[in-house]
Every structure is written in C-alpha cells, then in structure tokens.
Amino acid sequence: MKEDAAAAGTATPRDVAVRISELRRAFGPVVALDGARLEARAGEVHALVGENGAGKTTLLSILAGHLRPDAGRIEVDGRPVAEGRAWSAREAWSLGIGMVHQHFALVPRLTGRENLMLGVRRVRGGWGLPTRRLGERLGRLELETGLRVDLDTPVEALTIGERQRLEILKVLLRDPRTLVLDEPTSVLAPPEVEGLLALLRRLAAEGRAVLLVAHKLDEVLEVADRITVLRAGRTVLEAARGEVTARSVAEAMVGDAGALDAPARAEVRVGEVRARWSARADGTDLELRAGEIVGVAGVEGNGQRALARTLAGRATAAEGRVELPERVAYIPQDRGREGLIGSFDLTENVALGRHGDPGVRTGPFGLALRWRLLREETGALIEGYGVRAPGPGARAASLSGGNQQRLVVARELHGRPRLVVAENPTRGLDVAGARFVHDALRELRSRDDAPATLLVSTDLDEVLSLADRIFTLVRGRLVEVPAAERTREGVGARMLEALP
Amino acid sequence: MIRARWWGPLVGVGLALAITSLALALGGYDVSAALAALWRGAFGSEQAIASFTLKRSVPLLLTGLAVALAFRAGIWNIGAEGQLYAGAVAGFAVGFAGGGLPAPLLLPLVLLASLMAGAVWAALPALLRSRNGTNEVITTLLLNFVALHLTGWLVQGALQEPRGVFNESAPLPTAAHLPTLWPGTDLHIGFALAIGAAGALWAIFRFTRAGFLIRAIGEGPEAARITGGVRSNRLATAVFLASGALAGLAGAVQVTGVDRKLYDALSPGWGYTAIAVALLARLNPLAVIATAIFFGALQAGAAGMQRSAGVPFAWVTVVEAIAVLGVLIAARERTPR
C-alpha cells in the first residue's frame, strides 16, 4: 500500500506515518511545547528546524516515548497512540519509530559487528550469538541502502561519521517505518554530510518516513521534502520544499527579519604578531597577522586538533618553531569538556582561564586569587556578552549549549588577546548562537589592538564567510587557497587535490 | 565527584542511628540502654570527651584530610592506611634514635620524618599514575598490605623490644612524647595540629590559586589542562604526595602522642575509615573535623556500649557503614538527560 503510493510518484498524497497535533508540554513554569504540529509522510524526508530552546528536543523525546505530553495527539500510521498516558520507549519501537540520537550509544571497545549484535534479539531456541542471521540482514540492508560500515574495527577507532553510520545501521536493523535523527549533521564534515544526506534520501525512497532535526538551513533545504519550523514551542511554518526559501525559513525560526543581516566587514589591519608552525617534515609556514582572520578548512581528522592546540600554546610542536604572543585566547571545540567545568560556577570557570593573570592574584607570592574581583568581572561578562544565566554563581552545566559558548567566547576574547585560536567554534550551536560567535570574531578586527585570529573549522561556509585568507589542511599539510578560488567548489577542489 | 545536598550527611547519620536502633532491638538488646551507654562512652564526662572521643578522632582527622585532599583532585588514594604505617615507622625510628636531643628539636624532626615517609609511600603509586596511567586504587591498596606486614616484620626483628617477647618495640624516650593539650586527660597536642591542618587545607581550597587548580583537575581534568593551562600530571603528583604526607603524619602523631611504642597492628583501619570520614564530610576539610569527631565518638561510645550494655564492638562498624551509605543515598543527584 505504502510502496504503491511511493511508486505512484509525488502526485498521490503519501501516507502519513506520524502525525502530531496540538502537542503541549511544560516543565514547571517553562512551556517547552505549546501546540506543536508535525506530519511526517512515508517516502519523504521531513525536516524539523528551530532555534535552541524551540522545543525540538522535547518533541523528539515525546515521540521516542521518553517524555509524557501534557496534551495533544500522536498518530502513528493513522492510529492514535497512547491517548492520555505516557507511552514507553518500547512501544515507540514496536510502532516502528527508530531514533538515532545525537550522542551515540555504542560500546567503544567492541567492534561494529559486536555492537550491532547487542541490539539483536536472541535467536529462538538458540544460545549462540546470532551471527548468521545478523549477517543475512546486514547483507540485505547493504543492498537496499548502500550503507557500508567497517564492522570489524573497534568502534573507538572509527571516525565520527563511521560511528554515525553504524548507529543508523543499528536502528535500521529493527526495520523502523519512521526513522528519526537528532541533529545528525552537527558532528560531520562537509563531505560526510553529503554522504549522509544522500543516504537519508535513499532511505526515504524505500518508503520510510525520515524525520530530521537540523540546525543548518542549507542542508535542510537540500535534502528535505517538507519542512516544519518550531518557534517557542509552536509550529510556525509547515511547507513543502518548493514553497520556501532559506530566508523565509530563517525568518520563521527567528521571528525577526532584521536580526539576520550580518554587520559590515571590518577593516583589516597589519600588525606584529607572528606564529610559525611546521606541520610536516617538508614544513608549511604559517604567518598570522594582527587584524586578520585566517581560516583553515579541512575534513575532521586531518590534524586540526594538533594545529589548533599547537598554535594556542596548549601543545608543543613536534618539529619546527612556534612563536606565540603572550596572550593567546583559545576557544576549544568541545566546550563541555575542554572549555568549561560543568560543576564549577561561572566565576570559577572565568577564573579557570584567568588564574595566571597577575591582576587577579594577590597575597604573598600571588598565591591567592581575588575572588571578589573575579566575581565582578564575571558579572560584567555575563551582561556584556548576553550570557543568559541567573548570575556569576550559576553552575556552568545549568546553562544551555549556546550560553556556555557565549561564556567561553566572552572569557577568551575579553582579556585583550594578541592571538585568538578558534576550533569549530559554532559546532552544535543554533543560528543565533552561531551568529553571536561569528560577530564576536568579526568584531575583533575592528579593535584598536586587533589580534590575529586562526579559525580552524570543518564548516566550509563558516571559513568562507569569516576568513581573510584560507588554507586547506589535508593530512597535516597546510596549503593556501588563492584568493580567486575562495568558493565552496574551489576550496573543495584544493582539498581533493592535496590527497595523493 | 561526590556532590550532595547540604542535609545529606544529617540524613545519613539519622538513617544510621535509626537502622542501628532497629537492628539492636531485633538483636534482643535494650536499645535505650545501649544508646545511653554509647552516649556516655563518647560524651559522658570530661575524660570520655578528651581521652576517648577526641583522642580517637586525631588519626581519623589527619587521614580523613589526606583522603579529602586526594579525592578533591580526582586521585583515588585508598592507601592512607599504608602511608600512616610508613609515617609511624619513620617517626618512631627518628624519635628512638634521637633520644638524646631536646624535645623542641626532636619532635619537629619526628613529624618531618613521618611526613616524608608518608609521601615516599605514596610516591610509587603517584609515579605509576602519572607515567603509565596505572590505576592508583589498586597500587595504593596493595601497598597498604606491604606497609602493614613490613611494620610487623620490623617489630619482630630490628625494632623489637629488647626481651624479644612481644611484637612491639621498646618505648620511645620521653623527649619524643607529644605534650598534653588538655591537662588531666590523654588528649595531646596532635589534636590541635590536626585542627590546624584542617583549617589550612580549607583556606587553601577557599582562597588560593593552587587550591582552585586542584579542584579543577579533579572536576574537569581536560578543561584544567586545555583552558587552565595546568600541568595536571605534575599537580596531581604533588597532591598525591601531600596526601601521603598527611596520612604519614597521622602515624607519627599516634605513635608519639598515644602509643609511645611501635606495634604491629597500631591502626584499627583508620586509613580505611578515613575514606568514610572524608566522604561523609563531602570532602570539605572543615566538615572533616566534625565527621572525624563523629567517628571518634562512635568508637569511644562503642567501647562504653560493650562494657555496660554488652553490645559487641562490631556494631559500630555497622553504624559507620550505614552512615556513609545514607549520605551516598542522600547525595544522589538528578541529572537531566
């Protein structure tokens, strides 16, 4: 029936796999969902977009059976489910809803095959591992979807993209009719994103409904057949791909067209900052000048970490020379682990980056810290950078991802650094959060004592929009991209060229 | 990291007393008589307070601080017991050999020796941890047995009393005795020393950069290294050694303040109880004073309970364990998914 509809082409209205209407859910005084609607159809890729806090995660949690809605209806394949009661994760599964979470549930030490085996039920009457049955099903799935993963390597040795494909494979093994993915592209590099989007289209083409939660509009517009925009817990836009533009979707998300326009480009100044770094024995020299943003584009795992850490003075160069200025600001990629301590309050997190500064030290030999001063400074940073937090005494873990990153950016950029190293600074942030980070980096160029900035990012668009000069980083080697080739295609071609 | 609501410890203690009462009743004991005896044994008189409760709390306080310091830095030093023995042996050896020196000169030397010996006993686990990432729980625990049996071997050999009958050493010269703090009781100035150590440690955590960074490597080692620029391996090693030194000090304070001899089983497991002391105090050095005295009182009271209500001493171990379990239950924090 479903396949008939899919085969009949777009003219026939497809079966609605999941219909959510008037969904409502509050957490105490905070209303997360306030009448959200959504219709995901079989054979289509459906994108759910919205800013952080728009209610996407709550909606997904309800759909997955982890949360109970306060009100509203959920229909799966036309049948209402769990009216007036919570439904369980198991029930969601049995109705054919498969979730691929943002954080993968894989055992790092086990191979891909072993991880898959954990998700397969025991063969009836047998005690052994279901190796053969699993093998058959994997073969079939690979034929159908072209999804290939190295199954004999321990998961900890796989790239993020490979782990994600494994996670998707794990969910597909249970043969869901609706596949839900929570921000799957946020962890991937551009080429991997292409692959994932192609995979999602194939999965939909086989008659599944694919529901995709995403931040990045261009990806959404590329892959989705239909789009639902959530804002402040409400569905504000439901449309087919053909009916919207990137701008209309963005406006629906933000609810304010004026906030979208980027500020004018700042003037570039040349100064005295120099940093040299040799990537390989054949040595690539990199010079960073004050007032300039140098972008390093590349696919994850090509030495970005080492480059960023070396230039931030957090790691020593294996070879070659690095001349760094005294004050280096570092915005690390993993803010939750590397940039902040969740159990510390905001003042302590500011102190973490400032404790070496003579201005905050006091007492004999500068052994003590001036906590009152630090608390005042933290208060000022919260105000000045628009960190949404109850105060300097709030724990960092209680802040949303976007506000955590605001705090990190505020702390790092406030101390008049001479060099700023930012490593995937907008990863996992929503439109507003990313815009804040981009504006903060752009603003640096117009300072009187403008620092040199190194932006290491796997987000090619980010590099293209911010950087004055662009390098590609492939297998640890830096190659400058000529000014004429600073386009998506040009940089992409350079990246491929650098491969042997 | 252990994080608790402030009332967690109170709930733990309350829970412990309630369960103990119930168990005593089920065991056929007169609960009110037993609890009264417990109270009298711990706080019933000046002697009970000073010579029993507070005196017993001194080694618990010092080892409790050692554990709290290490745990704060994310170092799971389970070896306070062994470090205590190492400190006791070194302190005794110096005190015994330096018998001719005047007390004001000898005592600092004794205490210094015990600090160093405790640090040395922690050095191997600290080194293995920073060099190879070897799990310190295993290494420190194993070294406890080495220290215990090495002490036993010494008091049956090189350091045995001249007649060679008992498994103990000859007595320390009086110059190596810690002076009394509370006249007329057995309470020695080791108690004041331990309180001072707790205050100092509290101030370090509260005000100093070093204390802040120690907490940082415990709570977020990656962030401390990447954002804080802390050489966390080096700092962790230093904290590990300091923790060992504090536990070593506990050994010498016990030998010079109370035993005045070296015994083969000089500690009834203070280094292990110290873990409970530190956890119950939520690793706060000032709170360690309270929990150490609480555990000291339990042990003092248990002796009284055994004497006058016939309740076996082992019951106290039960109370201690339930108190810690109670705190851990109350400490359970809801984490959002």
CB A451 within 8 A of CB A418: yes
Cβ-nearest to B223 among A341, A355, A367 = A341
ipTM score assigned to the predicted complex: 0.84
Higher-scoring residue by pLDDT: B321, B255:
B255
Element (H, E) at B67: helix B55-72
What distances in angstroms separate CA A47 from CA A12, A205, B74, one per listed residue? 20, 15, 43
The 10 Å Cβ neighbour count of residue A186 is 18
Count other C-beta atoms under 10 Å from residue B168's C-beta: 18
* Digit-coded pLDDT (tens) for B170-213: 899 999 899 999 988 999 999 999 999 999 999 999 999 999 99
Tell me if B256 sits within 8 A of B177, measured CB to CB. yes
Among B209, B224, B229, the residue with its CB nearest the CB of A369 is: B209
Are B204 and B211 a contacting pair, CB within 8 Å? yes
* Continuous segment of H or E residues that includes residue A178: strand A178-182
pLDDT for B267 equals 93
- Please indicate whether, in this complex, the C-beta atoms of B220 and A342 are within 8 angstroms of each other: yes
pLDDT of residue B1: 38
Chain A residue at shortest CA distance from B217? A341
Q: Which two tokens stand for residue B112?
A: 């210094």
State how far the Cα of A233 lies from the Cα of A430, in Å rounded to an integer. Answer: 15
For chain A, 500 residues long, the average pLDDT of each consecutive 10-residue run is 42 72 79 87 90 78 82 84 68 83 80 79 58 78 77 83 84 86 74 82 89 80 89 88 83 64 33 42 63 84 77 72 78 90 94 88 88 92 88 89 91 87 88 86 81 88 89 78 81 71
* CB–CB contact B212 A348 (8 Å): yes
A104 in contact with B at a CB cutoff of 8 Å? no
Pull the structure tokens for residue B182: 């509370």
**How far is CA B94 from its chain centroid?**
22
- What is the separation of C-alpha B229 from the centre of its chain, rounded to a whole number of angstroms? 33
- pLDDT for B84-120, tens place per residue? 999 999 999 999 998 889 989 999 999 999 999 999 9
Chain A touched by B3 (CB under 8 Å): yes
- Phi/psi for B47 (5° steps) reads -60, -45
- Torsion, CA A138, CA A143, CA A148, CA A154, rounded to 10: 10
With CB atoms and an 8 Å threshold, state whether B222 touches A366: no
Contact B220 A371 (CB under 8 A): no
Would the pLDDT of B235 be above 50?
Answer: yes
Alpha-carbon gap, residue A3 to A149, rounded angstroms: 27
Residue A149: name the closest of A129, A130, A167, A136 by CA. A167
Half-sphere exposure of B157 (CA within 13 A, CB side): 7
- DSSP-derived secondary structure letter, A326: S
Cβ neighbour number for residue A140 with a 10 Å cutoff = 10
In chain B, residues with a C-beta closer than 8 Å to the C-beta of A371 are: 207
Q: Which chain B residue lies closest to A61 (C-alpha atoms)?
A: B337
Find chain B residues with C-beta within 8 A of A361's C-beta. Answer: 209
Give the pLDDT score at A124. 54
Enumerate the residues of chain B whose CB falls inside 8 A of the CB of residue A367.
208-210
Question: CB contact, 8 Å: B216 with chain A?
Answer: yes
Cβ of B208 and A369 within 8 Å?
A: yes
Best to test chain B binding among A62, A350, A369, A398 (most B CBs inside 10 Å): A369
SS3 A356: coil
Are A426 and A434 within 8 A, CB to CB?
A: yes
Average of per-residue pLDDT values in chain B: 89
Distance from C-alpha of B211 to C-alpha of B200, rounded to nearest angstrom: 11
What residues of chain B lie within 8 A of the CB of A314, using their CB?
225-226, 229
User: Which of B209, B215, B337 comes nearest A368 by C-beta?
Assistant: B209
The answer to whether A305 faces chain B, any CB pair under 8 Å, is no
Q: Which one of A332, A341, A368 has the shortest CB-CB distance to B207?
A: A368
Phi, psi of A311 (to 5 degrees): -70, -20
Interface touch A344/B216, C-beta < 8 Å: yes
- Give the minimum alpha-carbon distance from A304 to chain B in angstroms, rounded to a whole number: 15
In B127-186, the residues whose Cβ lies within 8 Å of chain A are none
Nearest by CB: B228 against A337, A353, A366: A353
Q: Are A371 and B216 inside 8 Å of each other by CB?
A: no
Query: B223 to chain A: which residues are within 8 Å by CB?
Result: 337-341, 352
Residues of B in contact with A344 (CB under 8 A): 215-216, 219-220
B228 and A348 within 8 Å at the Cβ level: the answer is: no
- CB contact under 8 Å between B226 and A363, yes or no, is no
Chain A nearest C-alpha distance from B71 (Å): 15
Task: Test A330 with B227 for CB contact under 8 angstroms.
Answer: yes
Instruction: Provide the token pair at A392.
Output: 């300097």
Residue B188 DSSP label: B
Best B207, B209, B232 residue to mutate vs chain A (most A CBs within 10 Å) = B209
Give strand ranges (E) for A84-233.
Answer: 97-100, 178-182, 209-214, 226-231
How far apart are the CA of A336 and the nearest CA of chain B, in angstroms? 8
Contact call for B226 and A353, based on CB within 8 A: no
Per CB-CB distance under 8 Å, the chain A contacts of B229 are 313-314, 356
The secondary structure of B246-285, three-state, reads HHHHHHHHHHHHHHCCCECCCCCCHHHHHHHHHHHCCCCH
Whether the CB of A78 is below 8 Å from some CB of chain B: the reply is no
What's chain A's length in residues?
A: 500
Are B220 and A332 an interchain contact pair (Cβ–Cβ within 8 Å)? no
Q: Does A422 touch chain B (CB under 8 A)?
A: no
Alpha-carbon distance of B212 to B72, in angstroms, equals 10
Question: What is the average per-residue pLDDT within B123-134?
Answer: 95
Nearest to B227 among A353, A367, A371 (CB): A353
Nearest CA of chain A to the CA of B200: how many Å? 13
Amino acid at B136: E
All residues of chain A having their beta carbon less than 8 Å from the beta carbon of residue B216 are 341, 344, 348, 352
- Chain B residue nearest residue A101, CA to CA: B337
Q: What is the pLDDT of residue A1?
A: 41
List CB contacts (< 8 A) between A66 and chain B.
Answer: 337
Chain B contact present for A373, CB below 8 A:
no
So what's the pLDDT on residue B82? Answer: 97
Inform me whether the pLDDT recorded for B144 exceeds 90: yes
Question: Mind telling me how many Å the CA of B231 is from chain A's nearest CA?
Answer: 10
